[in-house]
Amino acid sequence: MPEEIPKLDRETLKQWSTLSYPDLVIELCSLFIDPELIPKKDLKVLVDRAFSRFRHRDVVHLSRMKNGLNVLELWHGVTYAFKDLSLSCTGQFLQYFLEKRQKHVTIVVGTSGDTGSSAIESVRGAKNMDIIVLLPLGRCSKIQELQMTTVIEENVHVFGVDGNSDELDEPIKDVFADVAFAKKHNLMSLNSINWSRVLVQMAHHFFAYFQCVPSMDICPLPTVEVVVPTGAAGNLAACPDAAWPPPRLPSSRTPSSKPSW
């Protein structure tokens, strides 16, 4: 990890502006992942493998609507959730390190719907990982429930629980608070603030910006307004404000609020 957030010059942005979405993810990850941890050639293999199951050939697609409105399609993954993009990469990174260290982990996930199914798809069948998902009964959509309960893999374990997603987070927190137990069973989670998820989600904003701006030679660079539908605002954490160079940065906001950056 770098000691400070990387700054990008205009020339780098120009080079990045023509990249495919997977290649953009690779370049972004390379800024934060030491090549001694994951060499770039290995990183490319992992990212390409992560996106191999997406239905759209470009992985992410920008649909151009009327009156300058564009919609960034992030739903072409296995579970139709935007979380497939980051979790598919996180699963590959995790497996890469576990194989090197010959280690096994148990992933514990509480879900309100899309995180559970995306997390399952990212690690299903992996020999170095077991995943335990707590599913709040009657509080997910039918398709999300089926996505979680119909996966037949030895390393996938789904349990229905009473209560909402906030309530089921409490026993999970208690389990991780028992440090000796968590260490004994190599417990970890894949929640919305997992750094790997935030890192990969940065690519959404860069890719959308490059698609919307006609040229990186314009000075100053134009502002693009980004509206992010969100629940707990975890997906806003990846807005790469600090990574952009001047001038003023693209804003990120929920549909009902003023720009928050």
* DSSP annotation string for 126-192: -TTEEEEEEEETTSS-HHHHHHHHT---TTEEEEEESS-HHHHHHHHHHHHH-HHHHHHTTEE---T
Active site residue 173: no
List 83, 142, 173, 184, catalytic entry: 83
pLDDT at 1: 56
- Please give the C-alpha separations between residue 213 and each of 13, 57, 77, in angstroms, as whole numbers: 12, 22, 26
The single residue listed with the structure tokens 């390190």 is 97
Distance CA 130, CA 171 (A): 18
- Please say whether the dihedral angle defined by the alpha carbons of residues 180, 184, 185 and 187, taken in this order, is positive or negative: positive
Q: Could you tell me if residue 244 is left (phi over 0), alpha (psi between -120 and 50 degrees) or otherwise beta?
A: beta
- Domain 83-188: give its CATH code: 3.40.50.1100
Mean pLDDT of the 130-145 span: 91
β-pair partners for 160: 135
* C-alpha count within 13 angstroms, C-beta hemisphere, residue 229: 6
What b-and-e string marks burial along 72-95, b requiring 16 or more CB atoms within 10 Å of the CB? bebbbbbbbbbbbbbbbbbbbbbb
92, pLDDT greater than 80: yes
pLDDT at res. 3: 62
Tens of pLDDT, residues 60-91: 999 999 988 999 999 999 999 999 999 999 99
Q: Tell me, what's the pLDDT at 58?
A: 95
CA 139 to chain CA centroid, Å, is 23
- Domain residue spans of the chain: 83-188
pLDDT per position as a tens digit, 169-212: 888 999 999 999 999 999 999 877 788 888 999 999 999 999 99
Nearest alpha carbon to residue 130 among 114, 160, 151, 101: 151
Q: Which of the given ranges, 19-23, 138-142, 213-217, has the highest pLDDT on average? A: 19-23
